Structure 1
Amino acid sequence: MPVTLRIALRDWDYMTPLVLGDVSSSRLDIKVDRVGTLISSLADDAAHDAAEMSFSRYSQMRHDGDDRIVGMPNFIMRGFRHRCIITAKDNPIRTLSDLGGKKIGVTGWRDSGNTWTRAALRREGVGVEDAMWYAGRLTEAHPIVDRLDGFGRPGRIEAVPGERPMVDLLLDGGLDAVFTPFMPKGFFDQESPLRQVLDDFRAAEVAYLNEVGYIPGMHLIGFKADIVREHPWIMDELSELIDESQRLWLEKREKYADTTPWMIDELRRCAADLPPTWRASGLAENEAMIADFAEELYEQKIMPRLLTPAELFPWHAKAR
């Protein structure tokens, strides 16, 4: 009798084979709940056994000794962050170092993606203390919520004045740049008044990859500890299924490469620029990235002490 696993995930395309049942397991009956917003507290959510969650917020739980959730080091959302810094098209800023002394907006201070973006700036000599930061909603369509999460500091890290949408502030000069994981509506239009700060962000990201050896991870899957204790094999089983779903989806993408006119060129460039193991799951395979993220959480004063990869993923560390 397979174990039912109720899991909440965003619509990552490579999960399609898993959701459709093209990838399956005789040990698991996976029920995927497609969500647009991450569950705020999996531990208190009766509807799910596992869920996609922020690496930063998971790290906070581990730091606080909250062991109700066990993390699986399969980073289902990972990506470079250089592309996630946008500005007005007529703004003269063209490099990350140009952001020193500038007014920068973020969609959430402690968000994993924004933590990695600040890490990219820090490598270029622009630390938290070298800019003025504002946390707020990206557009009018986004909700007004607390995006400082307790990390506000008057004169350094503040809420956007009047909760104005940050895109509007970019256009009228109230902000010089904004960190956003998802581009605002209309960003890709030919007449868009916005652009990425870096004209060739791909070259910057390839250089970053060659320096650090990984693509940053933002989201992982957390499991309720009770189901892991009852079924110790369940994380490895799901991780293998996700890996297979990714492999199968890439295989289909390579075959049906006309989903966009130049998808085939993108596939070729990815194969040339990325190591075959860039998506690898597991603690050992991601240990350097995990350690660097923990260091950034500490250096950016999101965590009061430096956590180790073994502290963040104790279940997998013990299994080694």
Structure 2
Amino acid sequence: MSKLELSLAISDYDHTREVGTERVPVEGIEVNMLDYGVEEIFYRFTLHRDFDVSEMSMAKFVAQVAGDRPDILGLPIFPSRVFRLSNIYINTDSGIEKPEDLRGKRIGTPEWAQTASVYTRGWLTDHVGIPLQEVDWRQAGVNQPGRVEKVTLNLPDGVSLTPEPTRALGEMLASGDLDAAFSAHAPNVYLDKHPKVRRLFEDYQSAEEAYYRETKVFPIMHVIAVRKEILDKNPWVAGNLLTAFMTARDRSVERLLEITASRVPLPWSTHFTQRQQELLGADYFPYGIEPNRVTLEAFLRWSFEQGITQRHLAPEDLFPESLQGEFKI
């Protein structure tokens, strides 16, 4: 019996790179692995469904599942997870010294439906206590003008979001036309060490660790999505892909923990990995629904409250029924 041929678009990660290779084959599937940058993958799959299986922005994924393009389902495979207090950049003349100072400020975002910004706005409302309505929101590309929203929004009453199609967040931040920006991609003005631009949290790791201890939210940035027509015809594909991705992830963690030889070019990688396990648990980069329920439920609530989803989804709405449990021996 011939294997099912599927295209899989995903950026290059150590913990997914072996999927579909001789080291980690996918049972019954011939994988055509396509490696692009995440911006290109998201653009092509979100708007055009160019691939059978694709990495996808979590926010755009849930917006489409809850909206007018529910022709995809997710697999509880999360290739990118990043805490997002590191993504708050400020102008040093803005008067912002602490989180509470963001109230009433002009804050930029690359897209309202950027996943990173959903988490940061969730922190702003829940943790800092600043309603979305008490910020002057601006939308623009990080370093280039012309970036636009890719999903339909349903903004809450009283929220002001102004597109800036001819400008970029970085230059607006440096010039003082923005007080702050929430952006997963560091603005070039920050990378170039502009004297007027810095992070709100210079020691963001300590702030993010404290946030995790309090909330148990480990932000999920990206998810693997599959065209629903493929799963309708071949429901076994979901489980086989999940198994392969879990195997590849486990092999990646084993490399990080190996102390006999340095499998990654990072001194003390074993120490750093063990430290994360102490904070996050032995399975510190979990796939599946139950190990991620706290994060998924928080994200889905924020997505609804922020007007990204048209209805309040539950985690079970995102994934095939066959993956909403697991077998035990």
TM range (shorter): 0.7 to 0.9
- In structure 2, relative to structure 1, the CA distance for the partners of 1:155 and 1:14 (3 Å cut) is closer
Question: Is the contact made by 1:17 and 1:248 (CA closer than 8 Å) also made in structure 2?
Answer: no
- 1:199 paired residue number: 202
TM-score w.r.t. the length of structure 1 is 0.86
Question: Could you list the per-position Cα deviations for residues 147-168 of structure 1 after superposition, in whole angstroms to 9, with x for gaps in the alignment?
Answer: 38554799821012x6222111
- 1:1-320, aligned counterparts within 5 Å? 1-18=2-19, 21-36=22-37, 37-40=40-43, 42=45, 45=48, 47-64=50-67, 66-88=69-91, 92-122=95-125, 123-139=127-143, 142=144, 144-147=146-149, 151=153, 156-160=160-164, 163-185=166-188, 187-188=190-191, 194-255=197-258, 256=262, 259-261=265-267, 263=269, 266-313=272-319, 315-316=321-322
Larger CA deviation: 99-108 vs 190-199: 190-199
Give the deviation of 1:187 after TM superposition. 4.0
* Contact map agreement 2:20 2:26 (CA 8 A) in 1: no
What amino acid maps onto 2:312 in structure 1? L
Residues 26 and 307 (structure 1), Cα distance of their counterparts in 2 relative to 1, 3 Å cut: closer
SS of residue paired to 1:38: helix
CA distance in 2, matches of 1:43, 1:114: 18
* Contact map agreement 1:43 1:68 (CA 8 A) in 2: no
Q: State how far apart, in whole Å, the 2-side matches of 1:90 and 1:262 are.
A: 39
Matches of 1:9 and 1:88 in 2, distance apart?
Answer: 34
Task: Kindly indicate whether the alpha-carbon contact (under 8 Å) linking 1:106 and 1:179 is maintained by their aligned counterparts in 2.
Answer: yes
Q: What amino acid does structure 1 have at the position aligned with 2:204?
A: F
Check conservation: 1:6, 1:47, Cα contact below 8 A.
Answer: no
Mean Cα deviation higher: 293-302 or 271-280: 271-280
d(CA) in 2 for partners of 1:208, 1:304: 28
Change (3 A) 1:205 1:257: farther
User: Residue 241 of structure 2 aligns to a residue in which SS?
Assistant: helix
**Inter-partner Cα distance in structure 2 for 1:302 and 1:46:** 20
Q: 1:318 to 1:269 in 2, by over 3 A?
A: closer
- Structure 1 residue 50 displacement after superposition: 0.8
- How far did 1:243 drift? 1.8
Distance, in Å, in 2 between the alignment partners of 1:163 and 1:224 is 35
**CA separation of 1:145/1:185 partners in 2, compared to 1, >3 Å: closer, same or farther?**
closer
Distance verdict in 2 for CA 1:197–1:262, change over 3 Å: farther
Cα displacement string for residues 150-201 of structure 1 (whole angstroms, at most 9, x for unaligned residues): 54799821012x6222111111211111111122347456777533211222
- 8 A contact 1:214–1:278 mirrored in 2: no
Whole-Å Cα distance in 1 between the matches of residues 56 and 46 of structure 2?
A: 11
For residues 2 and 18 of structure 1, the distance between their equivalents in structure 2, rounded to whole angstroms, comes to 15
Task: Give the CA deviation at 1:134.
Answer: 0.4
What SS is found at the alignment partner of 2:224? strand
Range 74-83 or range 271-280, more displaced: 271-280
**Identity of aligned pairs, percent?**
23
Taking structure 2 as the reference length, what is the TM-score of the superposition?
0.84
1:193 to 1:250, Cα distance in 2 relative to 1, 3 A: farther
Unaligned runs of 5+ in 1: none
Q: Give the Å deviation of 1:43.
A: 8.2
Cα gap change, 1:264 to 1:97, in 2 (>3 Å) = farther
Q: Distance in 2 between matches of 1:115 and 1:213?
A: 16
